[in-house]
Amino acid sequence: MKVLRFALRNLWRDLKSGEMLVLLSALTVAVSSLTAVGFFTSRVSQGVRAKATEVLAADLRIESGDPLPPRYFEAARAAGLRSAEERSFPTALFNGERSQLAAVHAVTTGYPLRGSVRIADAPFGAARAVHSIPARGEVWLDARILAELDLAVGASVRIGAASFRVAHVLDYRPDQGTGFVNLAPAVLMNAADVAATGLIQPGSRVTYAGLFAGPPAADGAFRAYLVANKAPGERLRDVEDYGRQLNSAVDRASRFLNLASLASVLLAAVAVAMGARRYTARHTEAVALMKCMGAAQGFVLAVAVVELCLVAIAAVIAGAMLGFLAQLGIAWLLRDLIRERLPAATALPVAVAFATVLVMLIGFALPPLYRLKSTPPLRVLRKTAEPPGLRYGLSQALALAALFGILWILVRDTALVVDVSAGAVAVGLALTAAGYGLVWLTGRLRGGVGVAWRYGLANVSRRGGASVVQVVAFGLGLMVLLLLAVVRGDLLADWRASLPGDVPNNFLINIRPQDVRPLEEYLGAQGVARVPMYPMVRARITAIDARPVEALRFASERGRTFAEREQNLTWAAEPMPDNTIVAGHWWTRADFGRPLVSISTEYRDALHLQLGDELSFDIAGERLTARVASVRKVRWDSFRPNFFLVFPPHLLDGAAGTYMTSIYLKPDQRPLLVGLLRKFPSVSVFDVDAILDQIRGIMDRASLAVQYVFVFTLAAGIVVLLAAVQSTRDERRYESAILRTLGASRMTVLQGVAAEFAALGLLSGTLAAFGATGIGWFLARRLFDLPYTFDPKVWIIGLVCGTVLVGLSGTLATRRVIDTPPMTSLRD
Amino acid sequence: MQDRIAEGRVVLEAQHLSKTVASPEGPLVILADISLRVCAGETLAIVGASGAGKSTLLALLAGLDTPTSGRVFIAGADLTALDEDGRAAIRAKHVGFVFQSFHLIPSLTAVENVMLPLELAGRADARTEAAKALGDVGLGARLAHYPKQLSGGEQQRVAIARAFVARPSVLFADEPTGNLDTGTGQRIIDLLFDLNRDAGSTLVLVTHDPALATRCERKIELDAGRM
C-alpha cells in the first residue's frame, strides 16, 4: 500500500516534469502499432474462421481440370447427399468495345450447398441472400465488372458466343475465397448456358468442381468412397483442411504485418532504455535521501517497478485505443481486397501488446532501475558517491533476451526468430556504422559555418553516441517509407521500361485446332505481326525414373503442386525466342517424334530433376515417357507463350486440345478484338495491361497498408528524439543560460538548437535516401536483373522530410528549456 | 557535565573507527582510530579544517557509509554488523538529518517534504504531524510552497522540520549554516538548538565554525583524520 502510494505520487510528478512522458509515449507507440496490426489480423482470422464452414459452399468438394465422372454424383445421391456442380474458367466479358477479364462460375441448381449467395440490385447497394441460381440467359456480375464495362443492371453483356442479361449485382459467394488470391471479378451463371458461349473446348482452362453436403455420417462414408475412387489429378477438399489452409495464409499475413510493427517496437525499446537511464539519473538524489531516512533497497526498487507498471498499464490503455482507431484505417485501405464485413476485434491483441510491453520494460528499463536501488545513501553528503556501475554484459544479455522474447511473441516461429534477429542486428549495425560516419563528417564541416550553425553542429558531434541513435532511429523509418512509397514504384516503372515497345499485350487462348489457320489469316489481314501458335496439351506427371510421384517427397510447395496438378505443355521445333538452353541440347529435325522433353529451370529445381531423367506423363489417359534432353531458362516477363515442358514435334500429334498465342495490339487496333471474338467465339482474350493494372492496384493497396504500419516507426523515431532531448535537458539549460549570460540573444540560441536538429534531420534523410537507393539498386541489378535508374525524388523527399520533421520536433521539444530565464538555470 | 555523561544513557558510540580508501598513491587514511560515546540529550560538535574527515565521521556514525575497521552503535544496535537495509531501518527509527544543501525534493511541496520520513515509517497521521512541524519552524503559512518558492533560510527550516518530525533520538547536522548568510544562519542555529532541547534529542553537529561549535556541550576536533 505504502509502495503504491509512493509510486502514484512519483508517477504524478514524473509525468508533470516530463520524465515519464517519454517512457509513456514510447510504450504507447509500441502498443498502438502492435494492436493496430493485432486487431486487424484478429478480425480477418475470425472472419475466416466464421466463414470456414461455408468456404467450400459444401461439406466436401472435389476439383479437377477434367470433367468429373457422373458416377460420383450417383454415388452421392445413393448415400443420401445433396450435390451440385460448378465449372469455373477465366474469360473476357464484352460490352461493345469495352472488355473486362472475369472468372466465370457456372453452377447447377442447389448451389451453394452451404452458406448462401448475396445479390444486390445496384452496384454497392444493399445486399440480400438468395436461395436460387441465375435463370437461363441471365448472369449476376461483380460490381467491378459493371463499373469497368459501364453496364447497369438490366443491360446485356457478351460472354463468348452468347449474350446475357445482367439480372443482379453479385455481392458475395461462399466459395469466393478470402480475397487476396482472387484477382478477377466473378460472374455467376447457370451451368446450362455454358454450351451456348462456346468457351469450353477440350484443353480449355476449366476447373470442374463437384459439391456435396449431407449428414456427417454420410459425408464420412462418401469421403472414403471418393478417396478410394478418385483419379490422380482430382483434388478432394473438406472444410477442415481448407480451414487449415486459410488459417495458415492469415497467419502468414499477420506475421508479416507483425514484423512491420517490430521496427516500431524496437525503436520504442531504444527510447525506453534512454528514458529509464534518464529516470535513474534524475532520481538518484531523491533515492539517496529516502535511503538516508530509512527506506530499504527493496522499497526503492518496488516503488520504481510499480511506477513503471502503472505507466505500462496507462500505455496499454492509450495505445490500444489508438491501435483500434488505426486498424480501422488498415481495414479501409484493404477494403477492396477483403470485400467482406469483418467481425469485431477480440481483446487478445491487447494481451499480446501488454506482454510485449512487459518484456520491453524488463529488458530495457529494469537494468538501470535495478541500479537505482543500490544508490549509496552517502550521496547526500558526497555528490561523487555513485551507485555501482551497470553490469553491461548482464544488461545487454537481458536486452537481447528481450529482443528474442518480443520476436517470439510476434512470430512464434523459431527459425524466423533467428533469421529476423540476425537481419535486425545486421541492419542495426550497418545503419549505426553509417550513422557514425555521417556524424563524424558533420564534425569536420563545422569550421565554415556561422555561429548558430557552428554551435548546432558542434552539439551533433559532441553528443556523438546520442546523435547516432537519433539519426538511425529516424533514418530507419524514413528509409522503409521511401522504399515502399518511391523506390517500389520506380522499380515497377524500370521493369515496364525494360520491356520492348512491341511486347505482346494480349494473350489468345482456347483456340480450336480448326481455327488456327483462319485466325492467322484474320490477324494477318488486320495488320497484326505474324506470331507462332502453340498447341496446348494438358498432362500430369506420374513418375520420375519409373518411381511414382505419389511416393516421392518434394521440399517445396511448388514441387508438390507440379507433382499433383495438371500442366499445360506444348511442342515446338525451335526454342521460344526468350528461352536460353542452360543444359543439354535442343533437338534437331532428326529428333522430331522421339520421346524427349525440354524442361524449364523452375521445373528442374522444384522436382530435383537432371538431364537424362525419364519422366512419365498421363495425357488424357495415355501414358507417355520422355527423357529430359535440355533445360531452359525462361524469361517469363516476355509476355510470349512459355511452358515449363516442351516436347519435339510429331510426338503428341492429335493430342492438342487447343492452341494459344500472344499478340501486340496498338491502342487503335483494340476494336479488332471485338470482330475477332465474334468470328472465333471460343477464343478467350487476356488483356495483359488490364491484368497488370489490377495486380498493381492490389500491390499499391497492400503496400499502402504496410506503409501505414511503418508510420508508427516514424512516430517511434520521434519518441527516440524526445528521449534524447529529455536526457540532455539539464545540459542544455545550463548551456543556454551561459550563452545568454554572455550576451547571445534568445534567437541566436534558438537558431543554434534549430541548426542542431536540422542537421540531425538532414543526416537521417541522407541515411534513409542512401539506404533506399542502395536497396533499390540491389533489388534492380541483383534480384530483378533490371537497369537501375537513379531517382532524385528519393533524395529530395528523404532530405526534406528528415530535415523538416526532425528539425521541427527537436526544436519544439527544446524550446521550453531555452525559454527558462538564465538566472533560474544558473541558480539551480 | 561529566556527571551527566556518566549518568546518561549512551545513544551513539564509536569504537576504534578507521576509514582508508585506495588512491593512486597507495592507501589513503581518512580517519584513524576514532572512539567516542555520546549520551542521550547531549550536543556534540565535530570541528576541523576542510578535509580533516568531519563529513566522513558523520557518514560513518549515521551508517551512511561503512568503516574499514571499528564499530558504531546507535541506540545499542551495532550498525557495522548490519547490512544496508538493516542500517536503513535503524535510521528510520532513530536518526534525523539536516544538510548544508538542504536536500529538499524539488517536486514536492514543503509539507510533502516533511511528510516523507513519516510516510516511510508508515504513519497514517503524516500530513497533520508535518503541518504541525512546519508550524513549529514558523512556516505554517507556506505548507503548499515548493522549495524553489522559498528562500534559503526557509528551505533550511523545512529541512529542520523534516529532521525533527519523526522524533529521532539522534540528529546529525552537516554544516547546517554553510549555505546561508550570517543573520539567517544565526536564526537557523537558534531554531535547531531550541527544537533539539524541546525534543530531548542528541545533536551531532559538523562545522568548521568555532563560534557555532562553542554552543555545543562538547567538542571534538579532527586533524588529518585523528582526534
Q: Do A285 and B103 touch (CB under 8 A)?
A: yes
Residues in chain B with CB shorter than 8 Å from the CB of A298 are 85
Does the pLDDT at position A392 exceed 70? no
In this prediction, residues A51-64 reach a mean pLDDT of: 82
| The predicted structure's pLDDT at residue A828 | 53
Written as nine digits, the cell of A404 is 528474442
Q: Distance between CA A475 and CA A349 in Å, rounded?
A: 28
Sign of the dihedral through C-alpha A667, A672, A678, A683: negative
| The predicted structure's pLDDT at residue A178 | 44
CA distance A291 to chain B (A): 6
CA distance A289 to chain B (A): 7
Q: What is the DSSP letter of A383?
A: T
| The predicted structure's pLDDT at residue A74 | 93
Residues in chain B with CB shorter than 8 Å from the CB of A729 are none
Task: Determine whether A546 is exposed, middle or buried from the number of CB atoms within 10 Å of its CB (0-12, 13-18, 19+).
Answer: exposed
CA distance A4 to chain B (A): 12
Q: What is the pLDDT confidence band of residue A549, given thresholds at 50, 70 and 90?
A: confident
B2-102+167-222 architecture in CATH?
A: 3-Layer(aba) Sandwich (3.40)
CA distance B92 to chain A (A): 4
Does the pLDDT at position A823 exceed 70? no
What digits encode the pLDDT tens for the residues A398-418?
877 887 888 887 777 777 778
- The nearest alpha carbon in chain B to A289 belongs to B103
Longest dimension (CA), chain A: 104
* Mean pLDDT, chain A, whole residue set: 84
Q: What is the pLDDT confidence band of residue A619, given thresholds at 50, 70 and 90?
A: confident
Residues in chain A with CB shorter than 8 Å from the CB of B85 are 296-298
Q: What is the pLDDT confidence band of residue A180, given thresholds at 50, 70 and 90?
A: very low
> Which residues, including other chains, have CB under 8 Å from residue A335's CB and lie 6 or more apart?
none
Residue window 151-210, chain B: list those with CB within 8 Å of chain A. Answer: 166, 174
Q: What is the pLDDT confidence band of residue A181, given thresholds at 50, 70 and 90?
A: very low
Helix ranges (DSSP H) in A483-545:
488-498, 516-525
What digits encode the pLDDT tens for the residues B121-170?
878 888 899 999 999 888 889 888 988 889 888 998 899 899 888 888 89
- The nearest alpha carbon in chain A to B163 belongs to A293
Q: Do B88 and A291 touch (CB under 8 A)?
A: yes
Three-state secondary structure call for residue A569: strand
Mutate: best of B19, B21, B55, B85, partner A, most A CBs <10 A:
B85
Q: Do B85 and A297 touch (CB under 8 A)?
A: yes
Residues of A with CB under 8 A from a CB of B: 2, 5-6, 9, 13, 16-17, 285-286, 289-299, 376-378, 380-382
For a pLDDT cut of 90, what percent of chain A falls above it?
A: 21
Residues in chain B with CB shorter than 8 Å from the CB of A15 are none
Written as nine digits, the cell of B29 is 587514511
Please count the other Cβ atoms lying within 10 Å of the Cβ belonging to residue A667. 8
Q: Which residue has the higher pLDDT, A94 or A138?
A: A138
What digits encode the pLDDT tens for the residues A148-157?
888 899 999 9
Q: Judge contact between B32 and B226, C-beta under 8 A.
A: yes
Least confident range from A50-54, A523-527, A546-550: namely: A50-54
Residues in chain A with CB shorter than 8 Å from the CB of B122 are 2
Does the pLDDT at position A449 exceed 80? no
Q: Distance between CA A629 and CA A572 in Å, rounded?
A: 14
Three-state secondary structure call for residue A382: coil
What digits encode the pLDDT tens for the residues A735-776?
787 777 777 777 878 888 888 888 889 989 999 998 889 888
Which residues does chain B have with pLDDT short of 70? 1-8
Q: Which residue has the higher pLDDT, A241 or A646?
A: A646
CB contact B136 to A (< 8 Å): no
Buried b or exposed e, range B85-105, using 16+ CB within 10 angstroms: eebbbbbbbbbbbbbbbbbbb
Least confident range from A476-485, A696-705, B177-186: namely: A696-705
Q: What is the pLDDT confidence band of residue A324, given thresholds at 50, 70 and 90?
A: very high
Residues in chain B with CB shorter than 8 Å from the CB of A2 are 119-120, 122
Q: Which amino acid does the sequence have at A420?
A: V
| The predicted structure's pLDDT at residue A44 | 81
A205-to-A201, A202, A674 alpha-carbon distances in Å: 9, 9, 21
Q: What is the pLDDT confidence band of residue A822, given thresholds at 50, 70 and 90?
A: low
Sign of the dihedral through C-alpha A745, A749, A752, A758: negative
Residues in chain B with CB shorter than 8 Å from the CB of A286 are 105
- Name the phi and psi angles at A681, rounded to 5: -60, -25
Does the pLDDT at position A191 exceed 70? yes
> Which residues, including other chains, have CB under 8 Å from residue A489's CB and lie 6 or more apart?
none
Does the pLDDT at position A179 exceed 50? no
Q: Give me the torsion for CA of A40, A362, A24, A731, rounded to 10°.
A: -140
Written as nine digits, the cell of B106 is 524539488
Q: Judge contact between A384 and A84, C-beta under 8 A.
A: no
**Does this complex have an ipTM over 0.90?**
no
What digits encode the pLDDT tens for the residues A663-676?
888 878 877 877 78
| The predicted structure's pLDDT at residue A625 | 93
Q: Which residue has the higher pLDDT, A631 or A497?
A: A631
| The predicted structure's pLDDT at residue B7 | 47
* Among the listed residues A712, A46, A703, A8, the one whose alpha carbon sits nearest the alpha carbon of residue A319: A712
Mutate: best of B60, B84, B204, partner A, most A CBs <10 A:
B84
Q: Do B116 and A293 touch (CB under 8 A)?
A: yes
Q: Which amino acid does the sequence have at A362?
A: I
What digits encode the pLDDT tens for the residues A1-37?
778 888 888 888 888 777 788 889 999 999 999 999 8
CB contact B120 to A (< 8 Å): yes
Beta strands A138-142 and A162-172: pairing type?
Answer: parallel
Query: Terminus-to-terminus CA distance in chain B, angstroms?
Result: 20
> Which residues, including other chains, have CB under 8 Å from residue A798's CB and lie 6 or more apart?
A478, A479, A482, A765, A766, A768, A769, A772
Q: Do A292 and B64 touch (CB under 8 A)?
A: yes
CB contact B28 to A (< 8 Å): no
- Name the phi and psi angles at B219, rounded to 5: -140, 135
| The predicted structure's pLDDT at residue B25 | 84
Which of B84, B103, B112 faces A380 most closely, judged by CB atoms?
B103
Q: Do A17 and B107 touch (CB under 8 A)?
A: yes
In this prediction, residues A803-815 reach a mean pLDDT of: 87
Q: Distance between CA B104 and CA B191 in Å, rounded?
A: 18
Q: Judge contact between B137 and B157, C-beta under 8 A.
A: yes
Does the pLDDT at position A352 exceed 80? yes
Q: Which residue has the higher pLDDT, A681 or A207?
A: A207
Does the pLDDT at position A726 exceed 70? yes
Q: Judge contact between A219 and A88, C-beta under 8 A.
A: no
Which of B64, B88, B105 faces A381 most closely, judged by CB atoms?
B64
| The predicted structure's pLDDT at residue B4 | 40
